[in-house]
Amino acid sequence: MCNILVGFLFRYARYAVYIYSVQQLPSRLIEAAVDQIATLPGIGRRTALRLALSLLRRDTERVRALSDAIIDMSEGVSPCRVCHNLTEQDTCSICKTPERNRGLICVVEDIRDLLAIENVGTYRGVYHVLAGVISPMDGIGPADINIAALVSRISELNEETEVIFALPSTMEGDTTSFYLYKKLAEFEIKVTTLARGIAVGEALQHADEATLARSMDNRTIYEI
Ligand SMILES: [Zn+2]
């Protein structure tokens, strides 16, 4: 028993030494760059080191172009004051388009969802980007995302307004939709949510039970 324990500790110690040795870099400048790159989402120290070494192989002009593009983006892009989409101006191009229906607001978790809907090219309303969803496990509450701004925005619109919840089909997305629904109950507006069901092109037998059940609940009149 004791031997097994000693063997385990020895192996663990070797592993710890290995990890430590990976972190020992030949230059403090490389170390600093790796530290910064590793702060990006999904990038561990190993990948950060690979990226840093790849940057070292580039000529200085190309590295400067990369660094300038990142700084320009960081300084020049900010949230739209109306919908929190990203823009280089005070108000985004969608909010500025006169043909857009301002009484139709699609609520999304982040910019990528907005872009996905825009790519379809059929939606003519406007958006509200929450920049997150309520997630108590991650310490994200209603005050941490753009809910107050949505409520204040809707308070200035009439009862013709429709709000579409286009939030993820997860516990956090559903919690956020439920919270928003309660918050918006005081306004005489229409609240809708995206239909959920079998994906286009998906075989019925491959759908999970929750999707199949929801598709059955949300069945529609067959029209041709
Ligand atoms: Zn906007």
What pLDDT does 159 receive?
A: 81
Closest by Cα among 153, 198, 145 to 173:
145
Per-residue confidence (pLDDT) for residue 64, from 0 to 100: 97
Are 125 and 68 in contact by the 8 Å Cβ rule? The answer is no
Per DSSP, the three-state class of 165 is: strand
Q: How far is the CA of 29 from the centre of ligand 1 (A)?
A: 40
Query: What are the Cα distances from residue 56, in Å, to 79, 124, 131?
Result: 34, 47, 35
Q: Cβ distance 117 to 166 under 8 Å?
A: yes
Q: What is the pLDDT of residue 46?
A: 95
Neighbours of ion ligand 1 (CB under 5 A): 80, 82-83, 85, 92, 95
Instruction: Write the pLDDT tens digit of every residue in 131-167.
Output: 999 999 999 999 999 999 999 999 999 888 999 999 9
What is the Cα–Cα distance from 167 to 17, expressed in whole angstroms? 45
Q: What pLDDT does 166 receive? A: 95
The rounded Å distance from CA 53 to ligand 1 centre is: 39
Q: What is the pTM of this model?
A: 0.77
Confidence of residue 22 (pLDDT cuts 50, 70, 90): low
Please tell me the distance between residue 7's alpha carbon and the centre of ligand 1 in angstroms.
61
- Ligand 1 midpoint to CA 135 (Å): 25
CA of 178 to the centre of ligand 1 (A): 24
| Tokens 């580039």 found at | 58
For position 4, what pLDDT does the model report?
57
Query: What domains appear along the chain, each with residue ranges and CATH number?
Result: 2-76 (1.10.8.420), 86-193 (3.40.1360.10)
How many Å lie between the centroid of ligand 1 and the Cα of residue 61?
Answer: 35
Ligand 1 centroid – CA 92 distance (Å): 4
Q: How confident is the model at residue 13 (pLDDT cuts 50, 70, 90)?
A: low
Residue 101: CB atoms within 10 Å: 13
